[in-house]
Structure formats: C-alpha cells, structure tokens
Amino acid sequence: MKIINKSVNALPEYATEGSAGMDLRASITEAVVMKPLERQLIPTGLFIELPAGYEAQVRPRSGLAIKQGITCLNSPGTVDSDYRGEIKVILINLSGEEQTLHPGDRIAQMVIAPVEQIRWESVDEINSTARNTGGFGHTGK
C-alpha cells in the first residue's frame, strides 16, 4: 500500500505478530494540552492510497484511554479508499484533568479492512426471524 510520511515519526507498524492495528503517532511540533472534555484534531503527517474495496479504520488505543482518559470521537473513523488527504485523529479528553500530548505520542490505531458496497432493492416486505424486531437490550443485561 502506498504511503507518504510528512512527519518525523516512523511509518505505522504492527507492534506484535498478532496485532490487528498499527499505531498512529501525533505529528505535532510542540505539546498539546487538552482540558477535560476538550476535543482536538491531531495530525499524523500520513497520506495513504488505499486500494479499492478497502478502508482504514481509525480506532482508540486502550492504553491511552485507561491511563489518560483520552479516546477517539467518531470511532471507528473511516478513511475511504478515494480519500487522499492527511490522516488526522479526533481526540477527546474524558478525564477530569488536563492531559498533555507530546510530539510522536501514539494517539490511535489504524486497521485496514475490506469493505463491500451493496445495491439496494426496494421491496414491500422483508423476511421474519426469531429475533424479528427485538433490540436495544431485549435479551436482558
């Protein structure tokens, strides 16, 4: 897959053999202080060319969430195969304290996944199932 890296950080990579996602790092020149409940759009310096039929999903990092209370909004964020702009991450500080992001910090993870496009068929009726219209906690806690 083609990538342009305009950051000073290394290319995203899988941390372990079984990793599904690659860490994305903050491409910032100075620390960013996030107040409680503040949102920030953090650049990565990365531009990718996804093949048709694939997407890149931008997801939170569990360590950042549990240790600092920082997570991704619009999660998972989808990078479409025809998008050519910089990958940026929408972060929010859900902790009760200011949190600081530093240049090169791992801020999210990116998963590359296949996608299918469908064509709608308008009908008057759809098949029933055992579940049918049950939803929103219908099976209990």
63-119, pLDDT tens digit by residue?
999 999 999 999 999 999 999 999 999 999 999 999 999 999 999 999 999 999 999
Q: Round to whole Å and give the CA distance between 62 and 66.
A: 6
Backbone φ, ψ for residue 20 (5° rounding): -90, -30
- The pLDDT, as a whole number, for residue 5 is 98
* Tokens matching residue 133: 């219209």
The domains located in the chain, with CATH, are 2-114 (2.70.40.10)
pLDDT at 126 over 80: yes
- By 3-state DSSP, what share of the chain in percent is helix, strand and coil, each rounded to 5? 5, 35, 60
pLDDT at 30 over 80: yes
* Tokens matching residue 45: 């310096």
Q: Round to whole Å and give the CA distance between 14 and 75.
A: 20
The residue assigned the tokens 């859900």 is 94
* Tokens matching residue 85: 């702009």
Contact between 10 and 48 under an 8 Å Cβ cutoff? The reply is no
